[in-house]
Amino acid sequence: MSLAEATVTTRSNGVLDFIRRQNFSIFQILSALIALTIVLLVAYPAILMIARVFFPGGVPQTTAFREVMSSPWVLQTIMNTVFAVIGGGFFAIVTASVFAWLNERTDARLGIIGDIMPIVPLIVPTVAMAIGWIFLASPGAGFINAALRATVGQMGWDIQISVTSWAGVIFVYALYFVPYVYLIVAAAFRNVDPALEEASRLSGATMLTTLRKVSLPAIKPALIGASLLVVITGLSLYSIPVVIANRAGIDILSVRILRSLTFEYPARTDLAMVLSLFLMVAIATVWIIQRRIMAAGNFATIGGKSARHVTVELGAWKWPARGLMLFYIACTSVLPLLALVVVSLQPFWRPEIDPSTFTLRHYQILIDRPMTRNAMQNSIGLGVVGGLVGIVIAAIMALYVLSAPKAIGRIVDGVTKFPAALSHIVIGVGFLIAFAGAPFYLSGTLILLFIVYIVIYLPEASIVAGASVSQVGRDLLEASSISGATQGYTFRRVVLPLILPGLISGWALLFVLMSSELTASALLASVRTPVVGFVIIDIWEQGSFGNLAALAFSFTVITSTIVLLAMRFSRRSFDRK
């Protein structure tokens, strides 16, 4: 054995001896390796971008900062972005929380319709849903406005609905946010001990008082997590702003960032990074608020005893509540999908619906195009595998945060949410710079897309997993530890069965997010490895609304089937607990 080999062997043995002396478990080592990998995957591209932008030739420059801060549009753009996210988020949290309570706690539940109700808007690719609302409520050619002209217009009333307005932007933002909130809140309602609500009702409290003072405070971790998730997804959202807000003359940060990278030559990467700093500050602020509220610990947890859920009878309010949910389905799911179907069957988009002109030509075009078939296969494959890997990683990290010392847990939690501080398009550019060329040569590969999707959506996965894990009582973890179980065994046999419904919901969320991802895909996908988001952008730029509607509807049918099966399995897993 050479001296070099002996030295390497000695160092390796020294590392192993150190691990044994510190009594590190496999679970702790795995969590540390995951955290380190995440840091490297985010920091390496970011450092390369910052070095190229702010230190050209090794000389620091602040030209981009001065240019952005002196721009007349910057303050208005930030205000527009904040108003859109907060406005849409507020209505989404209220709506989703009420619907989750109705479906999980009352006799107004709609069965299988209630299961798919909140997630259909999420299953539809976001850009396609936005365009669907353009088809429905465009001031000129929208189907709803055409119907209004044909009915109330005959009576001399000039009533018109415009989605290309502030009200329309907030409305569609809320539609986009509701599924995120519902998936988290509904899972929390399933896990909260219903004995607390039953005790409140037996003490004479009304149904609304019980909901306000017992049910909602008991799921505070889920509501806080949902709020943070709304901010993260809202600040990086691109499809709705570019389709609807642009037509309304509303400037949004994500669109500014993408324009600086793709619509200017040479690409203004420096401008994109400066704008991303605003997003980073906003995410950091909300995250700090979330950590402080969660640290207070004033919420219910899952204890070691199980209890049967008691169905709340709404009496005369049962059918009005169901009617409200059905109205939501009509407004957010049925109408946009019908608009997509009609436009996909029309030779070209027009407000008048004439069944005699319907044709399957747009679907035939999709079938005949190999790139479209490959895009759907690639997107579904990336969504299934990427969602599984992402939610498992997030669950491991969330449990480690729960059991680790506060300082270390705070650092690890920050690592998992750090990608959210960057716009998806900025992360895409960073990965393009870092991994497309030498020495990795991953340009235009599914491997690069897979890694990017994991990094981009890890914050969402960590929030979903964290909301589920945070409701697991420490008494269960301590009891398992006292009995001699390792952290890995505790995770597999104690924690995982309890949080499985939430994790399955989280997988469904990641699946639809990854399979229909738009912004980073526009940069990293290629004609050799297309994905649905890449193809939709291509069709949108061509203005082929019929082809776009056909692709969106076909993809919706496939993804909705997969997600519906996952949600049913989630409920069965809960019923077996």
pLDDT given for residue 236 in this prediction: 79
User: Does the pLDDT at position 292 exceed 70?
Assistant: yes
Q: With DSSP H G I counted as helix, E B as strand and the rest as coil, what are the percentages for the chain, rounded to 5?
A: 75, 0, 20
- For all residues of the chain together, what is the average pLDDT? 80
Band of residue 250 on the pLDDT scale cut at 50, 70, 90: very high
Residue 19 within any structural domain of the chain: no
User: Does the pLDDT at position 297 exceed 60?
Assistant: no
Q: pLDDT tens across 97-155, in order?
A: 888 888 888 888 877 777 666 666 666 777 778 888 889 998 878 899 888 888 887 77
Q: pLDDT tens across 383-404, in order?
A: 999 999 999 888 888 877 776 7
Measure the CA–CA gap between 458 and 38, rounded to whole angstroms: 9
Residue 4 within any structural domain of the chain: no
pLDDT given for residue 92 in this prediction: 92
* DSSP symbol at 118: T
Task: Give the whole-number percent of the chain exceeding pLDDT 90.
Answer: 15
Q: Is 66 exposed, middle or buried (0-12, 13-18, 19+ CB in 10 A)?
A: exposed
Q: pLDDT tens across 12-48, in order?
A: 454 445 444 445 566 677 777 888 888 888 888 878 8
pLDDT given for residue 358 in this prediction: 93
Measure the CA–CA gap between 517 and 340, rounded to whole angstroms: 19
Residue 376 within any structural domain of the chain: yes
Hey, is 302 helix, strand or coil?
Answer: strand
Domain CATH for 73: 1.10.3720.10
Pairwise pLDDT comparison (307 vs 490), residue with the higher score:
490
Residue 171 within any structural domain of the chain: yes
Q: Give mean pLDDT, residues 301-313.
A: 58
Band of residue 168 on the pLDDT scale cut at 50, 70, 90: very high
Measure the CA–CA gap between 418 and 130, rounded to whole angstroms: 28
User: Does the pLDDT at position 293 exceed 90?
Assistant: no
Band of residue 577 on the pLDDT scale cut at 50, 70, 90: low
pLDDT given for residue 65 in this prediction: 76
- Closest to 336 in 3D by CA, of 533, 508, 448, 171: 171
275-296 residues labelled b (16+ CB within 10 A) or e (exposed): bbebbbebbeebbeebbebbee
Q: Give mean pLDDT, residues 498-505.
A: 81
Q: Give mean pLDDT, residues 453-479.
A: 80
**Amino acid identity, position 445:** T
- Closest to 424 in 3D by CA, of 393, 459, 391: 459
Number of H helices, E strands in the chain: 29, 0
Measure the CA–CA gap between 183 and 180, rounded to whole angstroms: 6
Domain that holds residue 345: 26-575
User: Does the pLDDT at position 572 exceed 80?
Assistant: no
| DSSP, residue by residue, 306-324 | --PPPPBP-GGGHHHHHHH
| Other beta carbons less than 10 A from residue 456's beta carbon | 25
- Closest to 426 in 3D by CA, of 282, 145, 225, 235: 235
Q: Give mean pLDDT, residues 216-236.
A: 82
439 prior amide bond cis, ω within 30? yes
Judge whether 105 and 201 are in contact, CB under 8 Å.
no
pLDDT given for residue 375 in this prediction: 92
Pairwise pLDDT comparison (368 vs 215), residue with the higher score:
368
Band of residue 299 on the pLDDT scale cut at 50, 70, 90: low
Measure the CA–CA gap between 198 and 218, rounded to whole angstroms: 13
Residue 17 within any structural domain of the chain: no
- Closest to 309 in 3D by CA, of 208, 206, 186: 186
Q: Give mean pLDDT, residues 186-192.
A: 78
Q: pLDDT tens across 505-564, in order?
A: 888 888 988 988 887 887 788 888 899 888 887 887 788 889 989 998 898 888 888 887
- How many domains does the chain fold into? 1
Measure the CA–CA gap between 79 and 65, rounded to whole angstroms: 18
User: Does the pLDDT at position 489 exceed 80?
Assistant: no
Residue 12 within any structural domain of the chain: no
Q: Is 90 exposed, middle or buried (0-12, 13-18, 19+ CB in 10 A)?
A: middle
| Other beta carbons less than 10 A from residue 315's beta carbon | 9
Q: Give mean pLDDT, residues 289-297.
A: 69
Q: Which residues contact 245 (CB under 8 A, 6 or more apart)?
A: 80, 84, 169, 251, 252, 255
- Residue 288 to residues 86, 185, 283, 414, 424: CA-CA distances in angstroms? 17, 21, 9, 10, 22
Q: Give mean pLDDT, residues 243-261.
A: 86
| DSSP, residue by residue, 493-560 | IIIHHHHHHHHHHHHHHHHHHHHT--HHHHHH--SSS--HHHHHHHHHHHT-HHHHHHHHHHHHHHHH
Residue 11 within any structural domain of the chain: no
pLDDT given for residue 251 in this prediction: 93
Strand partners, 106: 312
Q: pLDDT tens across 408-443, in order?
A: 777 778 778 778 766 677 788 788 878 877 788 888
Band of residue 296 on the pLDDT scale cut at 50, 70, 90: low
